[in-house]
């Protein structure tokens, strides 16, 4: 493949700086938990159900622990101690703690002996092992199906979105997309679900701008795509969104329902949904521990930066954030092969040599993160509703994707800025993409970049600016950098945004055996 010269020493220095940024955040993460983290641990231990108002039992339990001042020891500790002292199953204990008088009889300021913690841990041992076994079984089932019906070897994989609001219609459209040639099918979430601090239960048939992410909805689409995989004799991958206030819970659900990919990125929630940065960095770490165990591939959201910031002047912010996201992911145990870093084709198409600048960015990212399944996003910002121009714009995007060997290509739709894509819109997009990918399959192997030319100069400039930004972020901390609008030209407060009240400092003796297992402790 064609290579654009990059300074490998500068790349290595960028990774060193990103590791420092991630280390600073991890120090904070290790000292704190959140209501979302505690809820997902209760789910993983096998607690299920809702009340007559549809409030999940895990929410009722964790909120009562928070209000009573007993969450710093962890919801897992409360469950284990309840079983030791009062008997019954973990489900029984959860219901007693959530709805009964048991918590009222506990003094949250009383000292807790190591013997009590040890006995609580023992009471949770079988359920902890079962939680990990459940993830492992789902991973083995997915890998067995992939071995039976191997996905295409050629990249980029063609990725499309379906989202009608009705999960049963989504399942039909997912199979239609697979029939038309899609390799990856995503069900986009209902608008603003990331701001809900609970996960809805069951199958849903109404949603605005998307379909709710629930465990049952995941299972319905998985069954549909399994049917498509059998019918077409090739594995079709399933994607959803693990971000927002329930990031960790959705990661758990995806892990046990055999999803293949998750959009998973704290920075996206901070910048574009105003989720509190402290809250979501903690939730991201725990969600990625589930992802690492399950073998899911995550997709990050740096592509979104260029919807609010200029794609020429701020291209370096995408690269610096990719370095940081890579460092975060490594700390959570993800392998490079699970880290689909995102970027996008968002330069104003009417700028002279815009195609060359897009090619330079794509090639540079592909080389720097050579083992990562890079996620390449289509143009949206400069589409106006002119469907003919949009189709040409998408074709140029596809040409860059195949030339630079991107991994996961979310296909552009000519109806962008007009309406949600129809089945025929997706069909025509897949057809056009198949044409470009076939016609230019080996173009990247046949060309080289002119030494000192525009593409090389652009790549070197973006890398140098990313390095400078990383030096700056280390100097003032990522917390301050985000507050001052260093990414996407969006400013967020360290103590503002949604979910800040759901952060809890861990007490000495804090118990979370599922997380300990995920961390390999």
303 belongs to the catalytic site:
yes
- 69 contacts: CB under 8 Å, gap ≥ 6: 108, 109
DSSP 8-state assignment for residue 344: E
Strand positions, DSSP E, 332-436? 339-340, 342-344, 375-377, 408-410
What interhelical angle do 454-483 and 315-331 show, nearest 10? 60
What's the burial of 299, exposed, middle or buried (CB within 10 Å: 0-12/13-18/19+)? buried
From the candidates 375, 394, 427, 498, give the one annotated as an active-site residue.
Answer: 375
Q: Are 337 and 291 in contact (CB under 8 A)?
A: no
Which token pair is 130? 């079962």
- 450 contacts: CB under 8 Å, gap ≥ 6: 456
Distance of alpha carbon 387 from its chain centroid, rounded? 30
65 vs 59: CA distance, rounded Å:
10
- 353 contacts: CB under 8 Å, gap ≥ 6: 454
- 3-class state of residue 310 by DSSP: coil
Distance of alpha carbon 22 from its chain centroid, rounded? 17
From the candidates 170, 183, 283, 303, give the one annotated as an active-site residue.
Answer: 303
119 vs 102: CA distance, rounded Å:
18
Which token pair is 281? 């960095």
DSSP 8-state assignment for residue 50: B
Which token pair is 249? 């819970």
From the candidates 268, 285, 345, 510, give the one annotated as an active-site residue.
Answer: 268
89 vs 46: CA distance, rounded Å:
10
DSSP 8-state assignment for residue 212: -
179 vs 459: CA distance, rounded Å:
38
**DSSP assignment string, 132-182:** HHHHHHHHHHHHHHHHHSPPPSSSSEEEEEE--S-HHHHHHHHHHHHHTT-
290 vs 256: CA distance, rounded Å:
10
Catalytic residue list: 268, 303, 375
């Amino acid at each position: 493949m064609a290579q654009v010269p990059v300074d490998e020493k500068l790349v290595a220095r960028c990774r060193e700086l990103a590791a420092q940024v991630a280390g600073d955040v991890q120090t904070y993460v290790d000292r704190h938990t959140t209501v979302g983290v505690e809820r997902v641990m209760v789910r993983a231990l096998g607690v299920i159900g809702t009340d007559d108002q549809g409030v999940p039992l895990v929410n009722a339990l964790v909120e009562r622990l928070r209000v009573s001042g007993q969450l710093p020891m962890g919801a897992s500790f409360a469950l284990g101690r309840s079983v030791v002292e009062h008997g019954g199953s973990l489900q029984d204990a959860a219901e007693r703690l959530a709805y009964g008088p048991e918590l009222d009889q506990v003094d949250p300021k009383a000292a807790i002996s190591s013997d009590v913690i040890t006995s609580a841990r023992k009471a949770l041992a079988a359920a902890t092992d079962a939680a990990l076994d459940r993830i492992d079984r789902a991973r083995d089932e997915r890998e067995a199906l992939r071995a039976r019906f191997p996905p295409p070897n050629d990249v980029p994989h063609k990725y499309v979105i379906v989202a009608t609001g009705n999960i049963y219609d989504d399942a039909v459209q997912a199979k239609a997309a697979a029939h038309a040639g899609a390799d990856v099918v995503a069900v986009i979430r209902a608008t603003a679900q990331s701001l809900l601090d609970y996960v809805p239960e069951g199958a849903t048939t109404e949603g605005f701008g998307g379909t709710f992410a629930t465990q049952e909805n995941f299972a319905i689409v998985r069954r549909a795509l399994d049917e498509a995989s059998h019918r077409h004799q090739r594995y079709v991958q399933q994607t959803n969104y693990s971000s927002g206030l329930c990031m960790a819970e959705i990661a758990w659900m995806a892990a046990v329902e055999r999803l293949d990919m998750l959009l998973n990125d704290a920075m996206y929630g901070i910048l574009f949904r105003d989720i509190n940065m402290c809250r979501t960095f903690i939730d991201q770490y725990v969600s990625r521990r589930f992802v690492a165990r399950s073998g899911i591939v995550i997709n990050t959201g740096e592509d979104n930066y260029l919807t609010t910031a200029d794609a020429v002047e701020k291209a370096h912010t995408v690269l610096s954030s990719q370095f940081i996201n890579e460092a975060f992911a490594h700390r959570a145990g993800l392998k490079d092969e699970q880290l689909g870093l995102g970027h996008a084709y968002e330069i104003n198409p009417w700028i002279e040599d815009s195609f060359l600048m897009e090619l330079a960015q794509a090639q540079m990212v592909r080389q720097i993160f050579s083992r990562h399944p890079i996620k390449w996003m289509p143009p949206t910002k400069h589409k106006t509703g002119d469907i003919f121009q949009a189709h040409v714009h998408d074709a140029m995007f596809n040409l860059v994707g195949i030339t630079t060997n991107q991994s996961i290509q979310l296909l552009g739709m000519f109806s962008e800025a007009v309406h949600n894509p129809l089945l025929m819109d997706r069909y025509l997009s897949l057809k056009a993409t198949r044409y470009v990918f076939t016609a230019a399959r080996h173009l990247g192997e046949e060309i080289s970049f002119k030494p000192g030319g525009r593409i090389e100069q652009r790549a070197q400039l973006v890398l140098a600016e990313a390095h400078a930004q990383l030096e700056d972020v280390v100097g003032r901390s990522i917390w301050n950098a985000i507050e001052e609008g260093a990414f996407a030209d969006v400013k967020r407060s360290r103590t503002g945004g949604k979910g800040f009240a759901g952060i809890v400092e861990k007490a000495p003796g804090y118990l979370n055996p599922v997380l300990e297992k995920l961390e390999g402790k």
